[in-house]
Each structure stands twice: as structure tokens, then as C-alpha cells.
């Protein structure tokens, strides 16, 4: 007999690392912000105050995404005005639409006019968007043609997913735990550690599993619509002799 269904609950974040640098400040606000509270975006390929960017752009910070339990790219439509989607092949494969510009085709060979980028890596096919959203710095959504800055086929707009970068000279971390209906377990966290004065490493990960809500009457067979997925990302940042900051990322994910 199935266990009683429980209301989803969340366990408050706890620190992974006890030794924090003295200069570490509180968690970032809505989007990347400086000490004056300004929201900084890179929609023009450079850091600028959101209020000074001469284009139509919406920014949602990583903290807001975490508080809203935004774990799939489909859920961005509830955070950004005018961002819509259709899905022809299933969950977490959105075809985005902005200002009425979209793609009306079920073929996986097509790329939509609203381009999606993960740390400036172009995701040309909507089948490549089945990625977990974890340890993000912010999400930027640009409306209108963006071909000058973001390449071809961005006549509708662009969705930029920007992960949190390693920080030089800082030791920090966090861990989030959650338990909910159908024995769902959610775990995500990150650790940032310095590697000398000119390098830093950040490792982030997420894990989720849940029993299926669609009961399978066949004996010994698992229930349908179950969840089993994980994602791990490592980013290495270093500063050379000319004080140029370079970053290298590696991402591994699996969903089932």
C-alpha cells in the first residue's frame, strides 16, 4: 500500500565549508549585483548596469531561481514576461517564443529563432535543452533580433543561462536538501576553493529522484513518471601575468 502523500518541504541551506574568508559577503541579490545594489548584466558582451543597457532585456538572479524552485528550463516562462514556449516532443524540450516569433515544426533538425546559450555555448536544437538549472548566477532574456552579438538565427531573441563562476581568494559553499511527495529527494550544492593567489576551482552538483506518480499494475515493475537525474559541473578560473582572467568549464549530466 502506498505511503500517505506528504506536502513538499524544503530544508534550509547549510554551509558545506566551515572556514569562510573574512571578506565573504552575503548571498548575491536578484542578479549579479555590486555593493550599491545595481543589477549587472552582460547582454552586450560586457558588464553593465541593467538600467543602462539600451536593449529590451530581463534578468533573473540565481537566488530568485533557487527560491522559486526553478530546476528545469521550461519553468523560465513563469519568471520572465512575454517568454512563452511550446513542446512537441515532451517535457524539458521547449521551443521558446518572444514577441510572437517562434518555430512551428516538430522536426529535431530545426533550430528556433529564439536562441539559447549556456555560458555562451550555443544550444541550436531544442532537444539539447534538457539540462538541469543549478548554481546559476542569473538568466538573461533578450527580446528582438540579436544577430549582431549572438550569431545567426536569433531573429526572435536570446535566452542566456550564466552559471556562477569561481572566485579568486574565496572559500565558500552551500548545500540544499529537500524531501517531498512520492519520496522525492532533491540535493544541490557547490564548493568554491582558491588554488593559490591566481586560480580558483568551483564544483557544483545536483541530484533528484522520485517514485513515479503513475502506478504500474504489473508486478515488480516500477511506477511510471519517476525521476532519476543528476548533474555535475566543475569550473576552473585563473589569472595570468597580464591580469587577464580565463575560465574553463566541464559539465556532465544525466536524466532519466
Give the residue-averaged pLDDT of 223-251.
Answer: 81
Q: How confident is the model at residue 51 (pLDDT cuts 50, 70, 90)?
A: confident
pLDDT at position 43 is: 77
Q: 208 and 229 in contact (C-beta within 8 Å)?
A: yes
Q: How confident is the model at residue 141 (pLDDT cuts 50, 70, 90)?
A: very high
pLDDT at position 160 is: 92
CB neighbours of 67 closer than 8 A, spacing ≥ 6?
none
Instruction: Retrieve residue 23's grid coordinates.
Output: 571578506
Measure the CA–CA gap between 177 and 190, rounded to whole angstroms.
Answer: 12
pLDDT at position 254 is: 65
C-alpha triplet 21, 19, 179: angle, nearest 5°: 115
pTM for the model stands at 0.75
Of 147-151, 168-172, 251-255, the poorest mean pLDDT is in 251-255
Q: Which residues are bridge partners to 246 per DSSP?
A: 238
CB neighbours of 125 closer than 8 A, spacing ≥ 6?
108, 109, 110, 111
> pLDDT for 168-217, tens place per residue?
999 999 999 999 999 999 999 999 999 988 899 999 999 999 998 888 88
Among left, alpha and beta (phi > 0; psi -120 to 50; other), residue 16 is alpha
Instruction: Retrieve residue 241's grid coordinates.
Output: 601575468
Amino acid at each position: 500500500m502506498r505511503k500517505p502523500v506528504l506536502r513538499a518541504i524544503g530544508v534550509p541551506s547549510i554551509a558545506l565549508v566551515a572556514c569562510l574568508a573574512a571578506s565573504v559577503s552575503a548571498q548575491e541579490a536578484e542578479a549579479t549585483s555590486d555593493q550599491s545594489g545595481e543589477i549587472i548584466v552582460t547582454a552586450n558582451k560586457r558588464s553593465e548596469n541593467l538600467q543602462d543597457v539600451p536593449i529590451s532585456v530581463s534578468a533573473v538572479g540565481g537566488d530568485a531561481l533557487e527560491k522559486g524552485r526553478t530546476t528545469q528550463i521550461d519553468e523560465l516562462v513563469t519568471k520572465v514576461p512575454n517568454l512563452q514556449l511550446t513542446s512537441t516532443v515532451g517535457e524539458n524540450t521547449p521551443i521558446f517564443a518572444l514577441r510572437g516569433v517562434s518555430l512551428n515544426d516538430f522536426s529535431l533538425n530545426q533550430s528556433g529563432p529564439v536562441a539559447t546559450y549556456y555560458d555562451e555555448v550555443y544550444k541550436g536544437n531544442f532537444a539539447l535543452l534538457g539540462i538541469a538549472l543549478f548554481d546559476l548566477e542569473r538568466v538573461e532574456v533578450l527580446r528582438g533580433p540579436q544577430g549582431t552579438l549572438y550569431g545567426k538565427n536569433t531573429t526572435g531573441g536570446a535566452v542566456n543561462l550564466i552559471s556562477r563562476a569561481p572566485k579568486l581568494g574565496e572559500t565558500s559553499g552551500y548545500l540544499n536538501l529537500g524531501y517531498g511527495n512520492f519520496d522525492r529527494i532533491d540535493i544541490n550544492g557547490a564548493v568554491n576553493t582558491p588554488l593559490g593567489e591566481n586560480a580558483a576551482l568551483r564544483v557544483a552538483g545536483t541530484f533528484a529522484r522520485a517514485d513515479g506518480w503513475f502506478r504500474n499494475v504489473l508486478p515488480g515493475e516500477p511506477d511510471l513518471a519517476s525521476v532519476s537525474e543528476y548533474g555535475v559541473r566543475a569550473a576552473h578560473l585563473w589569472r595570468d601575468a597580464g591580469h587577464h582572467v580565463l575560465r574553463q568549464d566541464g559539465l556532465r549530466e544525466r536524466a532519466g
